[in-house]
Structure 1
Amino acid sequence: MRDVKEPPVTGQDTIAALVQRIETLEAEADIRRLQTRYMFLCDTPCPEFGVRDDSHRIDLIMELYAEDAVWEGVGEYYDGQFGRAEGAARIRAHFERFWGEKRDPELLLNAHYVTSEQIHVDGAEATGQWIHMQPWLFADGTALLRSSRLNNAFRRIDGTWRITRTRTENVFIAPLPQHFTGDFPSASVLMRP
């Protein structure tokens, strides 16, 4: 058996490998910021400074999506509750229904806590998985805790990462004790200059 020699690694090969690794790390960071910005904009009260109303909030959310994106709830619980919206116009309509509905009791607080992140970058395409939890507090003192798994997709378009798929699946929904919290803001001032 004769020895097969690997071609020598050159300085150019090393630089190319390092550039590829840096680009992957930068893509992961951009996707992480994109996903968490989406969730930040979905919080109630909306913590983004200067957001005038829910229509403005939806405009900011839609800036995160590709024109051909899909937003869907999957699995035995979310299939019927959320369904599937294909394309930016239908995704916008989904958000308009969510924030346009008058709830009784009114939703006072909803905050997203994200964990269990996995991001997989393949050139200009990527996928990411997370688990998130969110408490929901209502004006009558009722509350619940929701948890979902996310399996989302992303594409770099003109140098900027965009969401191409939001896919959410219920993990659990649990009622919380009546008036389980007493101190929460009516508006966020976090981002105020």
Structure 2
Amino acid sequence: MTEPATLNALVKRIETLEAEADIRRIQARYMFLCDTPCPEYGVENDQQRIELILDLYSDDAVWEGVGEYYNNQFGRVVGKDALRAHFNRFWPEKQDPKLILNAHWLTSEQIHVHGEEADGQWIHFQPWLFDDGKSLIRGSRLNNAFRKIDGEWKITRTRTENVAIVDLPDFFASSYPSTSVLLKAPGTNHTNEHIQT
């Protein structure tokens, strides 16, 4: 292999690795912002949370539930206005019962980069706890798509398929925070800027 060809091959490999890292961060940030209580410092309400989530998506993005269970529960929405309405159904202004704990675990990652586009698959699990004691775990497979727009990776499709929903005993968790202070530096009024994105 000639020197220019070797250099081009190395550049391509680095670009692929950087794309995978960016996509991994975007997907993890989406899950982070969906946690309850929301761990993002300074987010005071769900409308702020929703706008931060929408910043991760392209203008023409699709969010869809597929398969025999999620197709009927979530359906398919296209575009940021429809996504905003979709997320507002997750976090209605007055939730009854109120969701007090939800955390996302991502596993079984596969990311495939194809130039300016990519796809990724994960399995994620999330425990849910409501203030009336109702508790469950949801498990889903994700098959998401991404595109580089103006030099920045964005989500173009979130596709989720149910793996299992498992009922848990009422109030299964013995402790959980009412708010998150994860990104607030102890004893200060400012954030750890090297952590916050």
Unaligned runs of 5+ residues in structure 2 are 185-190, 192-197
Residue ranges of structure 1 left out of the alignment (5+ in a row): 1-8
The match for 1:69 is: 61
Alignment length, in residue pairs?
185
Q: Which moved more, 1:176-185 or 1:66-75?
A: 176-185
Counterpart check, 1:173 vs 2:155: no
State the partner residue of 1:163: 155
Counterpart for residue 9 of structure 2: 17
TM-score by length of 1: 0.94
The answer on 1:96 being equivalent to 2:88 is yes
Picking from 73, 76, 89, the partner of 1:84 is 76
Q: Secondary structure at the match of 2:11?
A: helix
1:86-129 CA-to-partner distances (Å, cap 9, x unmatched) read 11110111011221163332110000000000000000000000
In the aligned structure 2, how far is the partner of 1:72 from the partner of 1:179? Answer: 30
Q: What is the CA distance between 1:157 and its match in structure 2?
A: 0.1
Matched-pair identity in %: 68
Radius of gyration: which is bigger? 1
Matched, 1:35 2:27: yes
Residue 114 of structure 2 is matched in structure 1 by 122
User: Which residue of 176, 179, 184 maps to 1:187?
Assistant: 179
Kindly provide the amino acid, as one letter, of the partner of residue 39 in structure 1.
M
Q: How far apart, in 2, do the equivalents of 1:182 and 1:162 lie?
A: 37
